[in-house]
Chain A
Amino acid sequence: MKIIACYSNKGGVGKTATSVNLAYALAARGKRVLLCDLDPQGASGFYFRVKPSKKLTEADFFEDVEKFTKAIRGSDYDNLDILPANMTFRDFDVFLSRMRNSRSRLKKALKAVKGDYDVIVLDCPPNISTLSENVFRAADAVLVPVIPTTLSQRTFEQLLDFFHDHDLPVKKLHGFFSMVQGVKTLHGETMEALRSAHPKRFLTAQVPFASDIERMGVHRAPVMATAPGSAASHAYQALCDEFMARVEE
């Protein structure tokens, strides 16, 4: 089982759209996927029309295996389940370590309910906190969308610093350029600068700025499901392929 965190320390960079489409693409290739909506603003659950569960705010949530498994909802798509948002994250590290530990009650409960998951995608909140640190430690890989602007360049470098400062393996970080606008010279220049500064940290695949992606909020479904032939869908597919090849290496 792989744990993949989709993270950005800056909001509005297309992080949730990435989580949603990555989870969808993995499920479509036959992986059993659990998408955990940990970002109270991100609403990846919203894109799958899953109603947030009120019961999930209780503090003992992660202690209580049954509550946890009961909160999981099947999406409209095969192999893809959602754990909706609106929870407190105090014990998230406990949750993650239990997902890892094959003997844990949580893992057993998951197995009993509907088999194990191959991939857990975490749609993380956009800040650096104790939660983020736990996520970084538990995850096999952290996928970071970066808009090619000067500001985003700074936030990406802050994230690298954070990894160095906390003895986290930098090679877990996989940046990619998001909301790319080909006509903007600045975008091109920033991408070039970032790629040459961090040659190993950036994926080749990039996701364009596209109205199809913005319209996900109207359709409330992954763009890969509603517009599979669109440029945006192809971009997410390429991103998923390249990223997973790196993760499974």
Chain B
Amino acid sequence: MSDTEATRYHLPTGAAGLLTDGDMGGLRPVVTLAEAVPFTVLDCFDQSLREAGLLLFAARDRLDLLLPDGRDLSQTGAAGFVGDLPEGPVRDVLAGIVSPLRHLLPVGSGELREGTLALLDDEGKTQARALLHLFAGTGGADVLLATPRGLRGYDAALIRLRERLIACGGAAVEGDALYRALFPDFPLYTNKPALRIAPDETAFQTARAIIASLIPVLRANEPGIIADLDTEFLHDYRVALRKIRSVLSLFRGVFDPDQTMRLKTRVSALMTPTGRLRDLDVYLLEREQIEDLLPEGLSGGLDAMFDLFAAERATAQARLAKHLQSGRYAREIEALRKIFSGGKALRRGAHADIPSHDLACKLIWKRYRKICRMASDIGPDTADTEIHQLRIHCKKLRYLMEFFGPAFPADAFAPLLKSLKKLQDSLGLFNDYSVQQASLRAFVSDLGDHQPHGIAIAQSVGALIAVLHRRQIEERDRIIGSFETFSSPQVRRAFHDLFHREDAPS
């Protein structure tokens, strides 16, 4: 966007005084600024708002949202889940950007003075104005933001106003510049760290770099799990752990086999204490959906069941928080970080020096062909266990493609990843239905006789299992359809062209 058409201008500190310096072709510039009020910038932990170029802040018991297109929205509300905000324009926009599972958290705070720069004519009529936000972040950074607001029929005055803003050093606000200017020390976070894979990079280098980039993701999510801010902290933590484990098993022979085995055991040991809490999170998050599955007469036992889950979740959360704060955990995670930080502790395997690109082609092509072979046998009579196997293979293929993505041209890569994702969605649902049935059965058999609502719970859960079973069968048909696409000649050809190498190392 050119500076003459910008929706917002970022001005240097101290420019406020220059804005009113002298007449502007018969128009008199006037700045009014309100008293300073405290403000707190909010975002969810994965920084979706920063990435979208939005600035959300709480001030005067309201939430204000500055959009990249120059709109300012405001409504009552405070930090929390977007779904818990009162209806309003800010909530409407946030709902499209922030995950409903994520809690809005403070990024930083400071003092804000709001005001206007107005260009007045000889009658005292405003012909153009800019809304001013003078932010003083507690990090010491000051930001002056000017948002032009033209008045109908006074186009010439708006041009003058923009000229003045530019003359005072104003430049178009781009992306997350504002956020970073306000809180320069605020750590930027992403749960999918972007890696570059150099053409001559070895498999050892790539595998090490992937794991090294995932360990900070683990660390970044620990405080949110401990404080129990939202369930996504644990989810992201587990995904990062699972990816680390996948690198260890998929890059076979790249690291020393004995060390690989020990590392896999250590990573699994980190995963184990998180499992029960995640299961309970999933049940409780799906509460509404599950309740909708049952007719009213049969849902009576569900409340009692969810109460039990909620109570157990509190215990599981406290236990995990304690674990993550323990000295043993701190030492273990630090030891793992050191191993992958580039020193000599990580030992090389037989395939350490294979070029990454070649290894990627080999692994992806092999995995894809295996999936196609298995998929061709899938039919109405296929056992659930085989579909689960397929799901695991697809997941491994997905990780491989994500790990090695940077080594391939994006335009050829993206459509393949997309068709894989679609297939995985179906497989995931199928698996969820299956796992839910199993765990509900286990839950009922563990209830014991002393449970006061035992019979009601058992009735509800029995009905629920029946519903889940029906859904699982429906999903199976969908999976067969998705596989047909995924193993179609076109997709096969695309995988072949991108990943099949006649001279690939065996």
Contact = CB atoms under 8 A, between A and B. Distances in A.
Contact of B152 (A48, A49, A113, A220): A113
A76 B125 CA distance: 7
Contacts of A220: 123-124
Contacts of B153: 70-74, 81
Nearest to B118: A76
A76 B152 contact: no
A114 B154 CA distance: 13
A73 B124 contact: no
A72 B152 contact: yes
A51 interface: yes
A49 B124 contact: yes
A27 interface: no
A50 interface: yes
A74 B123 contact: no
Contact of A81 (B123, B124, B150, B152): B152
Contacts of B317: none
A51 B121 CA distance: 10
B437 interface: no
Interface string B128-155: 0000000000000000000000111110
A73 B154 CA distance: 7
A5 B196 CA distance: 68
B131 to A, nearest CB: 11
Contact of A74 (B121, B124, B152): B152
Nearest to A53: B153
B126 interface: yes
A76 B154 contact: no
Contacts of B151: 73-76
Nearest to B153: A73
A80 to B, nearest CB: 10
Interface in B426-484: none
A49 B124 CA distance: 7
Which of A50, A71, A76, A114 gathers the greatest number of chain B CB atoms within 10 Å? Answer: A76
B377 to A, nearest CB: 60
Contacts of A71: 153
A73 B123 contact: no
A72 B150 CA distance: 13
B125 A50 contact: yes
A105 B125 CA distance: 30
A16 to B, nearest CB: 17
Which of B125, B150, B153, B154 gathers the greatest number of chain A CB atoms within 10 Å? Answer: B153
Nearest to A220: B124
A82 to B, nearest CB: 9
A141 B94 CA distance: 40
A70 B156 CA distance: 13
B124 to A, nearest CB: 6
A28 to B, nearest CB: 15
A49 B153 CA distance: 14
Contacts of B150: 74
A20 B151 CA distance: 18
Nearest to B155: A70
Interface in A208-226: 220
B55 to A, nearest CB: 21
Which of B121, B125, B150 gathers the greatest number of chain A CB atoms within 10 Å? Answer: B125
Contacts of A51: 121, 123, 125
B150 to A, nearest CB: 8
A220 B122 CA distance: 13
Nearest to B129: A76
Nearest to A73: B153
Contacts of A75: 151
A81 B121 CA distance: 17
Interface in A46-77: 48-51, 70-76
A71 to B, nearest CB: 7
A70 B125 CA distance: 18
A113 B125 CA distance: 21
Given A51-B123, A73-B151, A73-B153, 13 more contacts: A49-B124, A51-B121, A72-B152, A72-B153, A73-B152, A74-B151, A74-B152, A74-B154, A76-B125, A76-B151, A81-B152, A81-B153, A220-B123
20 contacts: A49-B123, A49-B124, A49-B125, A50-B125, A51-B121, A51-B125, A70-B153, A71-B153, A72-B152, A72-B153, A73-B151, A74-B152, A74-B154, A75-B151, A76-B125, A76-B126, A76-B151, A113-B152, A114-B152, A220-B123
Interface of A: 48-51, 70-76, 81, 113-114, 220
10 closest pairs, A vs B, by CB?
A74-B151, A49-B125, A74-B152, A73-B153, A49-B123, A76-B126, A81-B152, A72-B152, A72-B153, A49-B124
